[in-house]
Structure 1
Amino acid sequence: MKPLTQAQAEQLQEITQHLLRVREEKSITIEEIAIHTNIRLSILKALDAGDFQALPEPIYVQGFIRRYGEVIGLDGQALAHTFKINDFPEYSYNESQDSAKKLNIHIPLIVPYALLLVLASVGLIYILNSKLTPESQAQPQNAVPTQDTKTKP
């Protein structure tokens, strides 16, 4: 496990106290949370007790916070984002930036079909010609086998 920074530990302490307070106000047991979130009971107890050494990596803890919050009726997504898992600034992915980088090449649909047709024709001609060539060299098509027949007078 990657140890939490001091700032992360303080954030996590505030978040878990808030989750515990809301859970107790709504009279929801920790076992019910474990059932609804599919989070191990030992991890939920560690969160409630503030035993952060027993927790996995911060990215997983962020997911636990989100699911825990949603089960007790809070906005789990917003609550999870208050727990920063790294010191890097938030980067929001913007599809318009990515699409601006893409080349805008448009190939008409007829081009691959025409190419496929040409390749199939060439392949068929090659296969048929290779079958005819050995036969024509071995025996002429119109030739009749000749036998020396002797006629009796």
Structure 2
Amino acid sequence: MSEADPEQMVTNSIGDKLRKAREGNDLTLEDVANRTRIPIRHLQNIENGEWDALPAPTYAIGFARSYANVVGLNGSEIGVELREELGAGQHRPVPATAYYEPADPARVPPRSLAIIAGAIALLLIIGYAVWRSGAVDDSGVDRAEVVEVETPLDEATPAGTVPGQASAPATPPATGPVTLTATEEVWLRIYEEGGERLLEKIMTPGESYVIPSTAQRPLILTGRPNVLRVTVGSTEIPALGPAERTISDVSLAPADLLARAGAAQGTAPPAAGAAPSGQ
């Protein structure tokens, strides 16, 4: 885009307005960065109208709003103005995958871990069934007779169940609550897999948010996953991503987070309600 492009001149007017307000308050870019926790390079991009250099339109709007509040302008008005001027199709967000290192363990989808665990469990069940079948055949005892002896109706069938019907597994599901606590100022968006937003804001240091128990499959988008402390009940989860790198579509479901913790420790995910190791 050339310097004479009218779109650049329009959107850059916001950057000029913020820069003039900053200079009018005798503030440096470093002063604004210290108050907003926004990197200086992003503040320079905002003043120069270089919106494509920011991770996503939502980041651009959030950063501009925070900048405006610090220099005495109305952050909400600046955010609305920038959203209208950028437009839905003018700015394309940078895909989150572009920010991952090739060897980053966070690239392994939590859903894959669940599939692998399920496959291993299925193989163990099949192996046990084959071994059991061979043991009965070798003994020369009729199988129907073995079932009668080992599972009498009055002992093997729990009250309230139909004889011959397999009972449900007793393993309790993974439980929460899932809590996110900011150790530094950080913008984030939490949303359902279908797109419904549960939360979108800039959290301040020490502020916490509990994922609603009614959420079916909550996901997160943020550019600073390393400053979020995530817990499932009393179990602390490793960082959701590397420092200062955007993550998106990362599951915040209790089972997926516990699987992530188990993978990081090289062990199976902790049982529901179990205390984290080292306590």
TM-score of the pair, normalised by structure 2 = 0.28
Q: Which structure has the highest helix share of the two?
A: 1
Larger radius of gyration, structure 1 or 2? 1
Q: Which structure has the highest strand share of the two?
A: 2
Higher relative contact order (CA 8 A, sep 6+): 1
TM-score of the pair, normalised by structure 1 = 0.48
